[in-house]
Chain A
Amino acid sequence: QITLKESGPTLVRPTQTLTLTCTFSGFSLTTRGGGVGWIRQPPGKALEWLALIYWDDDKRYTPFLKTSLTVTKDTSKNQVVLTMTNLDPVDTATYYCAHRLPGWGGFDYWGPGTLVTVSS
């Protein structure tokens, strides 16, 4: 059974750096084809994809935030970490991590999400 859970601060000041951790179980990020993505959703708005990390450490980022995002993995801890720099109040959102189906299959398991508020 695959599960994922996001953790990190609930309140971040503008211009600060956000670090979110996705802790997962039920799969390994060393298995060929595996991947974990980060997606966010501002209150009342649509889903927005942020980043994706693959089993082979290949990474993809949304072109809209590419310079402020970094995604890494720690396979020994079954964790994926997303770092976002220079936060702004518009970054207030629920942040989700999700398991990517191998191939062009989408995200089949999602964490419960964590609400991050950016405010002074």
Chain B
Amino acid sequence: SYALTQPSSVSVSPGQTASITCSGDKLGDKYACWYQQKPGQSPVLVIYQDDKRPSGIPERFSGSNSGNTATLSISGTQAMDEADYYCQAWDSSTEAVVFGGGTKLTVL
């Protein structure tokens, strides 16, 4: 079955750009999306269809997807961005939903 791989943790200094990757076989041929989850809260969709932002999501969140890797970028990272981030894609052969293992973003 299809699998997505994320780094377990990423650290970034306030004001810098954080990049979180998500790898999967030919992921660039599928649509990827990203969720932010803070402790004790439900996930929030921050990027869908590779690079689209839902209403209410700050412009500092952006996404890209090419080859085998999708990337979530957060520019001008703030303390409030510290959270777990999950990528998600659709296995087009089975229409199953696949989540990555999650990345803990620490803003130092």
Contacts and interface: CB of A to CB of B under 8 A. Distances in A.
Nearest to B42: A110
A37 B31 CA distance: 17
B108 interface: no
Contact of A62 (B30, B33, B86, B96): B96
Interface in B1-58: 1, 30-31, 33, 35, 37, 42-45, 48-49, 54
A49 interface: yes
Which applies to chain A's interface (DSSP): helix, strand, loop or mixed?
Answer: loop
Interface residues of B, number: 25
Contact of B42 (A52, A63, A103, A112): A112
Nearest to A58: B95
Given A37-B97, A60-B96, A106-B48, A47 B42 contact: no
Interface of B: 1, 30-31, 33, 35, 37, 42-45, 48-49, 54, 86, 88, 90, 94-102
